[in-house]
Amino acid sequence: MNDRLPILYCDDQYVAIAKPAGMFVHRTNMDRRVRDVVVQTARDQLGRPVFPVHRLDRPTSGIVLMGLSTEAASAASELFRERRVGKSYLALVRGHAPDEGRIDRPLTSPETVYGEPLEAVTEFKTECRFEVPLRSGRFPTTRCSLIRALPRTGRFHQIRRHLNGINHPIIGDTSHGDSRQNRFFRTYANAVRLMLHAAEIRFCHPATNECVEIQCPMPDDMSEPLKRLTD
């Protein structure tokens, strides 16, 4: 893994970096052997402590916002809790998705007491659709869509679970996806990762009250498979 993380935004309060797919944000009990994590890498790169503001799943690439002090991180975390941060993700999903939609389905999470479901809402818009002239199941062709997901809440694996719930699982999702389709796109398009990318966040800066918009380009390990679908 490259020891330098691309910096997308930086001021005297916050820094945002582009996390590659497969990298933990911080050390976790899920795998104590992992040493290559965002927090320590960014700390060494910047030469100062950093404090993550929000979570991003290990297999997901994209924007991670961190405070340069505990106070800054706490203020920004409050924005996320109060749903005052706009978030936009790109996802390659199975099948031809509708032009747009709203998924309003409560979800449980590891933090939920007694497993009671919590409100969970994801809106989405379809950016483009693909049709591969090869059979991967009972149909003569294989279809997929690139969608922009706009989560209005922040539940555990929300986008992944919501899209799977409407029969458009994300390609490469080994927990909530379609293993047959995953194998097909691995072989055909070299889609070897979860095809989900945190592309944009927008928020009002807690210190300056200015609107901050941070964008993260799609990494090669996601953009290259998409190019292969158009060949």
Give residue for tokens 């990494």: 219
Q: What are phi and psi of 161, to 5 degrees?
A: -70, -40
| Per annotation, catalytic residue among 12, 57, 104, 173 | 57
What H or E segment, with its residue span, contains residue 46?
A: helix 38-46
Residues whose CB is less than 8 angstroms from the CB of residue 79 and which lie 6 or more positions away in sequence, other chains included: 85, 203, 204, 206
Which tokens sit at 136?
Answer: 């991967």
Annotation marks residue 57 as catalytic: yes
For CA atoms 137, 138, 141, 146, the dihedral sign is negative
Contact assessment for residue 147 and residue 170, using Cβ atoms and an 8 Å cutoff: no
3-state SS, residue 178: coil
Active site residues: 57
